Amino acid sequence: MKAVGARLPRYDGVGHATGRTVYVDDVRVNRMLHTKALRSPHHHAAIKRLDTSRAEQMPGVAAIVTHTDVPLLTYGHLSALGIPADEPLLASEDVRYKGQPIAVVAATDTDAAQAAVDAIDIEFEELPALFDMRKSFDDDAPQIHHWGTIYPHFEGEMNVRQIRKGNVEQAFEQADRIISGVYRPAAIEQMPLETQVGLAVPEPDGRMTIYSCTQALYFSMGVVAAHLQLPLNKLKFVGGTVGGGFGGKVDTATETLCALLAQKSGRPVKWRWTREEEFLCSSTRAPWHMEIIDGVTSDGWILGRKMLTLHDAGGYARFSPYGVTKHSFHHTGAYTIPNLHFDGYVCFTNRTPTSAMRGYGVTSVSFAVETHMSRIATELGVDPYELRLKNANRIGDTSPNGIRYMDPSTVDVLHAIADATDAELAAPYSDATREMREGEWLPEHLVGQLSHSEDH
Amino acid sequence: MNIVVNGNNRTVESPPLTPLLHVLREELDVLGPKAGCENGGCGACTVLIDGAPRRSCLTAVGSVPDAEVTTVEGLGAPESMSDVQQAFVHYCAAQCGFCTPGMIIAATAYLEGGGSADRTEISEALAGHVCRCTGYLKILDAVAAARDGNFDLSTTAESPHTTVLT
Amino acid sequence: MAIHTGRGIASIEYPTGMNQNGDPSQAWIKVKPDGRIDVFSGTSDIGNGSKTIQSQIVADTIGVPYDWVTYDNSNTDSSPVCTGTFASRATFVAGKAVLKAAQRVRERILEVAGQEMEISPEDLEIDDGEVMAKGAPTKKLNVGDVAAAATWGHGELITGTGAQLNPYAAISDPTTGEVDGVPHAAISYAACAAEVEVNDETGEIRVVNLTQAYDVGKAINPALVEGQIEGGAIMGLGLGVLEDSYPYYPSAEHRGGDFGSYYNPSSADLPELHNIIIENPSADGPYGAKGIGEMSNNAQPAAIATAVYDAIGVWVTELPITPERVLKAIDARDAGGGPRREGKHVIFDEELSINTVGTGKTWTAGV
């Protein structure tokens, strides 16, 4: 029997069904310490004083780590993609979101660790907070980030991710209707059943073994190696069996601080976030703000699109510029629109920093574009299938940044759901194919965008 | 005090107000029940106490002296899986697997209590158990079929919800 | 009070692999003396099933039974680089790395078998754990015997490595967004039809049916594909009508810190699901596969929002579409609200626009 294509049972199915699968929280080592964090109670504040001396004397406390203990405090997780570092591993001068970690304590049990956290002396000066990214451009917007309220480092020094294609002005002049709408999906939780968890074990040969729930072992190992300034042969990441991720476990949330506490105490250190920390302190899916203005013909061709996207990064950049760039590449959805004017911004607010979640960068645009398509269909009195089939990506069409589509299936998937729900399509829509545009499928405004190249 | 865990007599040293989940995992090294929230909200720590499904995170160990506690490990080992466990494998009803120990305990209690194969009734019985991966459908199908037993574990069940177009 | 039924559709696309590529995955494979196969890959299995999928790819590529394959992704000492399990890349990008490693192992097995059988490797094939002469299947040697010969006779270890790296596509013109290469490993496509019931007195929405079609290229394991589609459907439903980390926004207080105060989907929210799997093989993917794990929660919110409009004639474009938002929209509709129409302009949602809420930026049709 061939394996590929077969409905084989999961490789790990029996382990899951019998409770034998070993997740990070199931790893047992001797003399393990437990971790609690001092987290910001404020959305935005300056740290005026931080003193752990009293906490260090508490019973059961083995190590406390603050910003002064981190060899490289601020490391850009996506510095390789040109996103500069901005987020300290532990807050030093200010806190930019409620729940931001300031110090971590390793102690013999979680109660002792929490008691020591409570004994840390800290003083804040509260600062004005911003939660609405539509106000990020306002003159009186609170300055949250040392870079300002808008991320300024696209391609080095731009504060906007742009797409420009064709001539939107001309498209809007030719359009029979210009339809605008605003789309605002909320922040939501990745919410894996396994909360963030890590365990760092100092080995006698000077290495550190880190048990991790990361979605990306080498990526997270790189993060720890950078903060600790260690070569990769000093670290061993153990993981690969994860109790759900959905993007949130691309963050390296516990591993680096466990490693620092383990270094300082010389003992294994575990940190399992409570469900409350997972909900309130871990990154969320980003809230987005999208404004779409489409110029359309009365029979349902989309001639041009002008789109503004604001992405709420929360207090730090994390992966947000990557997310907005990906978003920009897909802002036409599954359709071919020859005239485009897109501006995307990463806005800083005092929400919990946002990060990857399933569909990163595109879930937002799918909601905005498809709801907008439905509105256009309604406004024009055009069948929603026909509107989509008309404008659907086809072989030889080009993407917003000029890449030829090789095997688009928009027509196929639309036909499939139409068949399955008994939606009747009239000719020629019932006979549409993915093949290159010609005849009635190739109106004048799409002629210039076609690509005949075979190598994309 | 003593409790019986999966048929074995165990002595418990933890104070009586310690959550049973903590006793099982941290004192007795019974690791099937998962600490998904420790607040009664997710169901991943569910165990059978004298046959009834209970959230072990909300159960003080002192409130169940001499109780018979059954965790997912106690329902069956890899070589001797119960019908419900086999159904979860055969229907691919576990993805990340973290909610699975509680789901299987709840499903076992539901079926042993005479629960039907009706999807709505199963869904109500499991509604307090959070799964973020599966969308629940394969879990409901697995529970509905579990009583039939005799699963071929070299393959998985065809889905009545799927059409394949090639 | 009345229950209104509505339908809506959405059609989406999503890239496989990291945007702009540049995300390597590597794997290596060794063969035990009895022919059993050990795969080392750095891909985390987060429930997506990459342990299963990659083992299936290896089994067929070498030509051995699936249960001969052991898969180890447990640590960075033994496993090589995998950029990670995200960006819908585990089947396609990491899957290609194990596929390439398996191809090399297969070549080595054929070379050793060729020496043992005194037949040229080009004239041999492997199926179900047996190396056979093409056209003369009775001339055969078990892969276990080949591995034993390599180990005890030839003094060799049969291994293979594989790496997949789609080259990074840089933005060559930041003003237009043009790129200097293909910025994705593949693009996948899907469509969703939603049916909802809306209670016009309470504002409650019940999603009754989600019918969804996904072009997966090739379903390496249809059961796991269904798992992605079904799990994604419910996550998309949550995004559409239930979930919000800031339920009192614009206040950032009173966030839900436990399952009792964060509104995530339960089994009671599950609608009827109909999965349609389409297999148009991709040119580059392992066995023609594409990634669909992430896009599976992208289409539902718009299909549901459209179905709500179809049911009660209001557009709710802030997610989640809560009962409160539905009732407010009904009130606005009844008060004669709707888009502003001016010449050929139709302007929806002005109250939500940055033009209304902010003072520092405007966004209008004027260029």
Give a three-class secondary structure readout of chain A: CCCCCCCCCCCCHHHHHCCCCCCHHHCCCCCCEEEEEEECCCCCEEEEEEECHHHHCCCCEEEEECHHHCCCCECCCCHHHCCCCCCECCCCCEECCCCCEEEEEEECCHHHHHHHHHCCEEEEEECCCCCCHHHCCCCCCCCCECCECECCCECCCECCEEEEECCHHHHHHHCCEEEEEEEECCCCCCCCCCCCEEEEEECCCCCEEEEECCCEHHHHHHHHHHHHCCCHHHEEEECCECCCCCCHHHCCCCHHHHHHHHHHHCCCEEEECCHHHHHHCCCEECCEEEEEEEEECCCCCEEEEEEEEEEEEECCCCCHHHHHHHHHHCCCCCECCCEEEEEEEEEECCCCCEECCCCCCCHHHHHHHHHHHHHHHHHHCCCHHHHHHHHECCCCCECCCCCECCCCCHHHHHHHHHHHCCCCCCCCHHHCCCCCCCHHHCCHHHHCCCCCCCCC
Choices 1.10.357.10, 2.40.50.140, 3.40.1190.20, 3.30.365.10: CATH for A161-187+284-447: 3.30.365.10
| Numbered ranges of CATH 1.10.150.120 in chain B | 78-146
CATH number at residue C305: 3.30.365.10
C-beta atoms of B73 and A18 within 8 A: yes
Rounded average pLDDT over C284-303: 97
Establish if C45 touches chain A: CB-CB under 8 angstroms.
yes
CB pairs under 8 A between A and B: 114
pLDDT at A455: 52
pLDDT at A1: 64
C-beta atoms of A25 and B76 within 8 A: no
Residues C97 and C200 both lie in one domain: no
Instruction: Convert the pLDDT of each residue in C65-102 to its tens digit.
Output: 999 999 999 999 999 999 999 999 999 999 999 999 99
C-beta atoms of A360 and C214 within 8 A: no
Residues C89 and C108 both lie in one domain: yes
C contact residues 106-145, partner A, Cβ 8 Å cutoff: none
Domain count, chain C: 2
Which residue range is the domain that position C94 belongs to? 18-164
C-beta atoms of A367 and C278 within 8 A: no
C-beta atoms of C273 and B137 within 8 A: yes
Residues C31 and C139 both lie in one domain: yes
Residue B111's SS3 state is: helix
Residue of A3, A217, A325 lying closest to C60 (CB–CB):
A3
C-beta atoms of C276 and B163 within 8 A: yes
Helices (H) and strands (E) in chain B, counts: 6, 6
C-beta atoms of A244 and B158 within 8 A: no
Q: Which residue of A has its CA nearest to C14?
A: A362
pLDDT at C366: 87
pLDDT in single tens digits along all 456 residues of chain A: 699 999 999 999 999 999 999 999 999 999 999 999 999 999 999 999 999 999 999 999 999 999 999 999 999 999 999 999 999 999 999 999 999 999 999 999 999 999 999 999 999 999 999 999 999 999 999 999 999 999 999 999 999 999 999 999 999 999 999 999 999 999 999 999 999 999 999 999 999 999 999 999 999 999 999 999 999 999 999 999 999 999 999 999 999 999 999 999 999 999 999 999 999 999 999 999 999 999 999 999 999 999 999 999 999 999 999 999 999 999 999 999 999 999 999 999 999 999 999 999 999 999 999 999 999 999 999 999 999 999 999 999 999 999 999 999 999 999 999 999 999 999 999 999 999 999 999 999 999 999 987 654
Residues C198 and C347 both lie in one domain: yes
Residue of C65, C73, C188 lying closest to A240 (CB–CB):
C73
ipTM exceeds 0.95, yes or no: yes
C-beta atoms of B85 and A17 within 8 A: yes
Determine, yes or no, domain membership for C68. yes
C-beta atoms of C230 and B134 within 8 A: yes
Domain A24-126+191-273 indexed as CATH 3.90.1170.50:
yes
Residues C232 and C322 both lie in one domain: yes
Instruction: Convert the pLDDT of each residue in C213-270 to its tens digit.
Output: 999 999 999 999 999 999 999 999 999 999 999 999 999 999 999 999 999 999 999 9
- Sign of the torsion angle spanned by Cα atoms A165, A171, A172, A173: positive
C-beta atoms of C354 and A310 within 8 A: yes
Residue of C9, C232, C244 lying closest to A186 (CB–CB):
C244
Determine, yes or no, domain membership for C184. no
Q: Which residues of C touch B92 (CB under 8 A)?
A: 223-224, 226-227
Instruction: Please report all neighbours of C, defined by 3+ CB atom pairs within 8 A.
Output: A, B
Choices 1.10.510.10, 1.10.150.120, 3.40.50.300, 1.10.3720.10: CATH for B78-146: 1.10.150.120
C-beta atoms of A9 and B89 within 8 A: yes
pLDDT at B103: 98
Q: Which residue of B has its CA nearest to C46?
A: B96
pLDDT at A412: 98
Residue of B41, B92, B132 lying closest to C223 (CB–CB):
B92
- Name the token pair of B18: 């310690």
The pLDDT averaged over each successive group of 10 residues in chain B (166 residues) is 97 98 98 98 98 98 97 98 98 98 98 97 96 98 96 97 94
Residue of A8, A18, A274 lying closest to B81 (CB–CB):
A18
Q: Which residue of C has its CA nearest to B156?
A: C223
Residues C151 and C234 both lie in one domain: no
Establish if C363 touches chain A: CB-CB under 8 angstroms.
yes
| Boundaries of every domain in chain A | 24-126+191-273, 161-187+284-447
Residues C232 and C304 both lie in one domain: yes
Residues C103 and C33 both lie in one domain: yes
Distance to chain C for B54, nearest Cα, Å = 17
Establish if C362 touches chain A: CB-CB under 8 angstroms.
no
Residue of A18, A243, A246 lying closest to B98 (CB–CB):
A243
Mutation target among C189, C251, C284 for the A interface, most CBs of A within 10 A: C189
Mutation target among C5, C13, C259, C347 for the A interface, most CBs of A within 10 A: C13
C-beta atoms of B155 and A6 within 8 A: yes
Residues C246 and C332 both lie in one domain: yes
Instruction: Give dist(CA A62, CA A108) in Å, integer.
Output: 7
A127, amino acid identity: L
Residues C70 and C96 both lie in one domain: yes
Residue of C47, C222, C258 lying closest to B96 (CB–CB):
C47
Determine, yes or no, domain membership for C268. yes
Determine, yes or no, domain membership for C160. yes
Choices 2.30.40.10, 1.10.1050.10, 1.10.390.10, 3.10.20.30: CATH for B2-75: 3.10.20.30
C-beta atoms of C266 and B130 within 8 A: yes
Determine, yes or no, domain membership for C223. yes
Rounded average pLDDT over C329-350: 97
C-beta atoms of B164 and C267 within 8 A: no
Residue of A295, A366, A423 lying closest to C298 (CB–CB):
A366
A contact residues 191-210, partner B, Cβ 8 Å cutoff: 191-195
Whether C310 has a pLDDT exceeding 60, the answer reads yes
Residues C251 and C269 both lie in one domain: yes
Determine, yes or no, domain membership for C156. yes
Distance to chain A for B54, nearest Cα, Å = 17
A 10 A CB-CB count for B65 gives 11
Q: Which residues of C touch A336 (CB under 8 A)?
A: none
pLDDT at B164: 96
Which residues of B make CB contacts under 8 Å with C? 37, 39, 41-42, 92, 95-97, 122-124, 126-140, 156-157, 159, 161-166
Distance to chain A for C154, nearest Cα, Å = 30
pLDDT at A453: 76
C-beta atoms of B164 and C219 within 8 A: yes
Establish if C2 touches chain A: CB-CB under 8 angstroms.
no
Rounded average pLDDT over C162-178: 97
Determine, yes or no, domain membership for C272. yes
Whether C195 has a pLDDT exceeding 80, the answer reads yes
Determine, yes or no, domain membership for C74. yes
Residues C67 and C212 both lie in one domain: no
